[in-house]
A = this chain, B = another copy of it.
Amino acid sequence: MAKIVECIPNFSEGRDQTVVDALAATARSIPGVTLLDYSSDPSHNRSVFTLVGDPDGIAEVAFQLCKLASEKIDMREHTGEHPRMGATDVIPFVPIKDISVDECVEISKAVAKRINDELNIPIFLYEYSATRPERENLAKVRKGQFEGMPEKIKDPDWHPDFGAPVIHPTAGVTAVGARPPLVAFNINLDTDNLDIANAIAKTIRGSSGGYKYCKGIGIMLEDRNIAQVSMNMVNFEGTPLYRVFEAVRFEAQRWGVNIIGSEVIGLAPAKALIDCAEYYLKIENFDYDKQVLENHLLG
């Protein structure tokens, strides 16, 4: 079967549509790659592209987009609400089909090396590609942002993984890495008490002792006047959606609160949801790869 990788590069330009259009044109020009979506946020001054393709195509498109961004975006002029450190700020690679996270780590390292070799942009490897635990978290890598990076990377603890400890004058530095697919999954409660949503979020997120691959906070849905447990499921095979759903259900019962619904934001891999059907329907010996018809249609 054909290997499929997703790449979701983030660029520090969300206002000049000619730059965004040029990036989109390049994204569409690479054989073996499909541009699924791209969107720009003017207040963040940032654009996010969603691409899928075979490993060679996705490596090529990641490089070509990074190259174009380094030619079109001058970070010395960049302002915006979102933290950022490079013209191409971050390039995550995500396994979608018939490929492992480890193989995506290899792709990320090859792309990182090429970007540094040919464009002279220093690279931090992050997430599953990180070479040190403190580089796994993108927020920590990016701390100090473009303006603070010239000093930060002189520190031997923050020398880049590829390149000399000197930022690219206009393109800054870029983070490149592999990670499992992420599912944005929110659970709505029949309460207007944000404290309850926050207390529940604390019990289920890995950082405070809950499920390892769940990040979560409480938020208010002001228009509906209800509280929500808002989550990022960063590895749905390690922490399935049904598990946090059931955990939220039983934690909420302490306050006499019920789940009234949930939301999946944006795209989700079919398996993240089918794993839940398998749990609730108690399906025995289900073979996802072989028994889901669509898996036989993807190359």
Residues of A within 8 A of B (CB): 4, 6, 34, 36, 52, 96-97, 181, 188, 241-242, 245, 259-264, 266-270, 273-274, 276-278, 280-286, 291-294, 296-298
Known: A245-B281, A277-B277. A34 touches B263 (CB 8 A): no
Interfacial chain B residues near A266, Cβ < 8 Å: 291
The contact of A268 among B241, B264, B293, by CB within 8 Å, is B293
Q: Are B280 and A36 in contact (CB under 8 A)?
A: no
Q: How many copies does the complex hold?
A: 2
- CB<8 Å pairs between A and B, sample of 20: A4-B297, A52-B296, A52-B297, A242-B281, A245-B280, A261-B284, A262-B282, A262-B283, A264-B283, A267-B292, A267-B293, A268-B292, A268-B293, A269-B293, A270-B292, A270-B293, A270-B294, A276-B276, A276-B280, A294-B298
The contact of A294 among B242, B263, B294, by CB within 8 Å, is B294
Shortest A97–chain B CB gap in Å is 8
Chain B CB within 10 Å, residue with most, of A4, A283, A298: A283
Chain B CB within 10 Å, residue with most, of A181, A188, A280: A280
Interfacial chain B residues near A284, Cβ < 8 Å: 188, 261-263
Q: A36-B296, A181-B293, A264-B291 are in contact. List 11 more A-B contacts (CB 8 A).
A: A97-B297, A241-B281, A261-B282, A262-B283, A267-B293, A268-B291, A270-B270, A270-B293, A276-B276, A276-B281, A294-B294
